[in-house]
A = this chain, B = another copy of it.
Amino acid sequence: MVTMKDVARLAGVSTATVSRILNDPDAGRPETRRRVVAAVKKLGYEPNVSARNLRIRRTATIIVVLPDINNPFFSFIVRGIEDVAHEQGFSVLLCNTDNDLERELQYTKIIGRRGADGAIFLTARVSSPHILTMAARVPVVLACEYIEGAVSQVSIDNVAAALDATRHLIQLGHKRIAYVNGPPDVVLSRDRLRGYTLALKQAGLPIEEELIVPGTFYLESGVEAARRLLSLDDPPTAVFCANDEMAIGFIKEAYAMGRQVPDDVAVVGFDDIRFAAFYRPALTTIAQPMYEIGQRAARLLLDQIAGKAQGPESIVLPHRLVVRESCGAGALGR
């Protein structure tokens, strides 16, 4: 392997000079610079990042911890993160946890070992105290999720968003509105549930246990929810699903059971993933700026790493109800 020493020898200077020329754009005399650059090119020299990282105590790498990249919601956020990271010369380590705490902790060690300069968590299964102690020592940002305490975070107002979604169904005249929840130990799920119940309360509608079913955020659990809800004696006329995947699973199964959407049952999703607009019927859903969430989270983290952040910052981005076909508003139905 060709090292800086080789370059220095060929250029007839010391390694210190080579290092300076390479890192500081206006160091060295033109003549020296010319020689060094020529030597670098001739030898095909590439600086060794491990050596560099060791010395400067930085890695220009961040880790992103999430349940599953194979989920369009997360992958879009990750895209936002990676784009700004790359822009600023940082690399992104991908860490899929499948919500396995064990695996999450393993990944987390990377930071303690100085294998990364900071972390973005898109998941929330980590117990809050754990995250908090971590955030006290190294740069950490939470995206989508949030917890009480001194951590930078970026998300939308999930309670308000769920409220909007449910209210929309109420305004369309529905009285029996079901809710398909996400995993109960995720803050997101709880918030959306709160928004849902709040909307019902405000409208003076009863909250019925049998209309609130648990889910996993995956397609399959939408199917399951449909089986359960649509075989009720008095089935709901509308359903609010905590994410688009479950909404799609729900609709698919509803048709399999001979019901029409939105005619027999109206459906509203959450997230506005790329496929939402292309489903049949096109999904009415809460759009959240996933790409931007990723971007903002990355910027927050990189600022923290660069030391130009004054205390933890919480960003709440706007959400938006996107009315399409699945809710039955307008004459668009079918």
Partner-B contacts on A (CB < 8 A): 1, 46-51, 53-54, 57, 59, 61, 64, 68-72, 75-76, 78-79, 82-83, 86, 91-96, 103, 106, 109-110, 112-115, 219, 248-249, 251-252, 255, 274-275, 278-280, 282
Contact = CB atoms under 8 A, between A and B. Distances in A.
B96 A79 contact: yes
A309 to B, nearest CB: 21
Task: Report how many copies the assembly holds.
Answer: 2
Contacts of A103: 86
Contact of A82 (B96, B219, B279): B96
B75 A96 contact: no
B96 A83 contact: yes
A50 B46 contact: no
A99 to B, nearest CB: 14
Contacts of A79: 68-70, 96
A62 to B, nearest CB: 11
A74 to B, nearest CB: 9
A69 B75 contact: yes
A109 B46 contact: yes
Contact of A249 (B47, B61, B94, B278): B278
Contacts of A61: 93
Contacts of A68: 79
Given A48-B114, A49-B115, A279-B279, 18 more contacts: A46-B109, A48-B54, A49-B113, A50-B50, A50-B54, A50-B57, A50-B59, A50-B114, A64-B94, A69-B78, A69-B82, A82-B94, A91-B115, A93-B93, A251-B280, A252-B279, A252-B282, A280-B280
B49 A114 contact: yes
A133 to B, nearest CB: 11
Nearest to A114: B48
Contacts of A110: 49, 91
Given A275-B248, A280-B255, A92 B93 contact: yes
Contacts of A95: 82, 91
Contacts of A70: 72, 75-76, 78-79, 274
A133 B69 CA distance: 31
A59 B54 CA distance: 13
11 contacts: A1-B114, A46-B109, A46-B112, A46-B114, A47-B113, A69-B69, A69-B82, A79-B96, A82-B96, A219-B274, A252-B280
A86 B91 CA distance: 18
Nearest to A250: B278
Q: List 5 tightest A-B contacts by C-beta distance, closest first.
A: A50-B53, A50-B54, A49-B115, A46-B112, A70-B79
B54 A219 contact: no
A286 to B, nearest CB: 19
Nearest to A55: B50
A103 B93 CA distance: 17
A221 to B, nearest CB: 12
